[in-house]
Amino acid sequence: MLYTKPLIGDRTPAKFAPSQMDESDAFTESVKKKYPDSEIHPIGHSLGAFLAQYNLIKHNLDNGTTFAAPNLYHSFTGDFKKEIDNGVYDSKIRNIGHFDDPIVNSGLKMLFYGGLKMSFFSGLRLSYI
C-alpha cells in the first residue's frame, strides 16, 4: 500500500512507500495474530537490529538478540520511554557489538542499545544503559 503525504496545502505531488519501521511493525503484528501462542524472538544486525529492538518493545515480545544496534530511544514517546528508562527491557534484549564500532560505542549517555551491551570478542558485560 502506498501512502500520500500532502506537501503544500492540498497538493499531493507524489506518493511515498511506507517506511521500513511501518513495514516491520505490520509484519510483526501479522505474525503475532497468525501464531498467538508462539514465542517470538527478533534478531537483527544494524538497521535490522534497530527494527528487532523496536518491535520487541512495541509488541512486548519475549526477548531478542541484536548485533550493532543503533539508537532507537527517540523513536518512542511517553510510557515506552519511561519503561526504557526504568530498565523494563534490560533483561529482554542482548545487543552484541565490537569495541571499534562507533554505532555501538558512541559514549553518549542518551544512546539506548536495548538492554545488555556485550563485547563481540570477550563476551564480557560492558554496561547497562
pLDDT single digits (tens) 46-73: 899 999 999 999 999 999 998 888 878 8
Confidence grade of residue 35 (pLDDT, cut at 50, 70, 90): very high
Instruction: Determine, yes or no, domain membership for 20.
Output: no
Task: Determine if the pTM surpasses 0.85.
Answer: no
For residue 28, give the amino acid letter: T
Domain annotation covers residue 123: yes
Q: What is the domain range of residue 123? A: 46-129
Structure confidence at residue 38 (pLDDT): 94
Pick the residue with more confidence: 11 or 84? 84
- 37 occurs within a structural domain: no
In a domain, 31, yes or no: no
pLDDT of residue 98: 72
Residue 59 lies in a domain: yes
Work out how many domains the chain is built from and give that number.
1
Q: Three cell numbers at 55?
A: 518491535
Stronger pLDDT, 101 or 88, i.e. the higher one: 88
**Domain membership flag for residue 108:** yes
Rounded to the nearest 5°, which phi and psi values hold at 106?
-75, -25
Average pLDDT on 32-52 reads 93
User: Would you say residue 8 lies in a domain?
Assistant: no
